[in-house]
Copies of this chain bind each other. A is one copy, B any other.
Amino acid sequence: MAADRPGEFELIKTYFAPLAKDPGSLGLTDDAAVLTPRAGFDLVLTKDVLAADIHFFADDAPEAIAAKALRVNLSDLAAKGAVPRGYLLGLALPSDWTANWLDRFCKGLAADQAAYDVQLLGGDTIRSGNGLQVSITAIGEVPAGRAVRRSGARPGDKLFLTGTIGDAAAGLKARLDPGFGTKCGLTKSEESHILNRYLLPKPRAKLAGPISEFANAAMDVSDGLVADCGHMAKASGVAVAIDLNKLPLSDALKRLRKVAPDEFTRCLNGGDDYEVLASIPANRAAAFQQASEVVGCPVTKIGSVGEGPGSVDLTEAGAPVEINPNLGFRHF
């Protein structure tokens, strides 16, 4: 609608054009971006929409909101083995947006563009009828035919995971309940760690190369480890076996496991980890692990893939563990 456009042109010039240095963005002066694909590469496209008070808190730092909106998309690209090429930003601003807020939001984007070597290509800014919404479409490239899917896990594969798991879900609990850290005996530094892990996912962009080179299947873990292992198992038509004692845990989650085991299992099955789960042929597992070290994104072996009907089998010290959908896990 025309009425909000003059404002939009000013916004573009002041805030967004400085983020758009890729020639294909045409400096955001046109209706569309132009992307010349590199010969021998496929493009990977992903889109996530984040809304205030659903995916982030409206009073989060604007830099953090911007970073999260971009990073959840970069996480998808990395898990497909794709290197970011650019992104389009759809921004629905609430009526009470301020210049200072938008300036900080764009500073958050600028910092992440530098950190992840990605450029703004285009987008749209509108007045939101209500709260802030951020919709990002990210585009990555991967050697032709090498985009890695969820569905390629094969019996005999070994399962690997980046980073540590459960932190973000614990961070959300701490954010919602200021007494959570004390109740669970977390140190200040541990509480700060989980809060930050919820606020700012770390997309494993560096792992794109090794994923594309070695993985039969991969995906980012955003719905909870067990749920996402289930997605991979079903898509691949295999059984996934996870050893709980091998899961990579931060100090905060190790403490949670001791002090508040129910909270721990809930966190393990919570969302927002944005770590990469990869299924690697057994005879290439060592090479994958080495390549991950080389790019600075170490991985942990957490289980293996077998024949089966799309199931997830959990064990702890050799004993089977049952999943309680209400609690995450439940021990026999």
A313 at the binding interface (Cβ < 8 Å): no
| Interface status of A314 (Cβ within 8 A of chain B) | no
A126 CB contacts on chain B under 8 angstroms: 49-51, 54-55
Interface positions, chain A 26-56, Cβ under 8 Å from B, are 26, 29-37, 39, 41-55
Taking CB atoms and an 8 Å cut-off, the chain A residues in 245-304 that contact chain B are 270-272
CB distance from A118 to the nearest CB of B (A): 14
Contacts of A124 in B (CB 8 A): 47-49, 135
Interface string of A218-261 (1 = CB under 8 A from B): 01101110010000000100000000000000000000000000
Give which listed residue, B41, B52, B139, contacts A45 with CB less than 8 A.
B139
Residues of B close to A181: CB separation below 8 A: none
A90 and B92 alpha carbons, distance in the complex (Å): 13
Cβ of A156 under 8 Å from chain B? no
Residue of B nearest to A138 (CB): B32
Partner of A52, one of B26, B129, B151: B129
Contact pick for A131, options B37, B88, B129, CB 8 Å = B129
In the complex with contacts A1-B55, A54-B1, A122-B46, A37-B34 CB distance below 8 A: no
Known: A123-B47, A224-B2. A31 touches B88 (CB 8 A): no
CA distance A222 to B41 in the complex (A): 35
- Collect the chain B residues with CB atoms within 8 Å of residue A170's CB: none
Given A128-B51, A149-B26: A135 touches B227 (CB 8 Å cut-off): no
Chain A, interface size category, equals 35 or more
Within 8 Å CB of A5, what residues of B?
A: 223, 227, 271
B90 touches A90 (CB 8 A): yes
How near does chain B come to A49, taking the closest CB pair, in angstroms? Answer: 4
**A142 nearest CB neighbor, chain B only:** B34
A49, closest chain B residue (CB): B90
Residue A133 interfacial (CB < 8 Å)? yes
A30 touches B129 (CB 8 A): no
Q: What residues on B are CB-neighbors of A127 within 8 Å?
A: 51, 54
A49 touches B92 (CB 8 A): yes
| CA of A82 to CA of B55, assembled, Å | 35
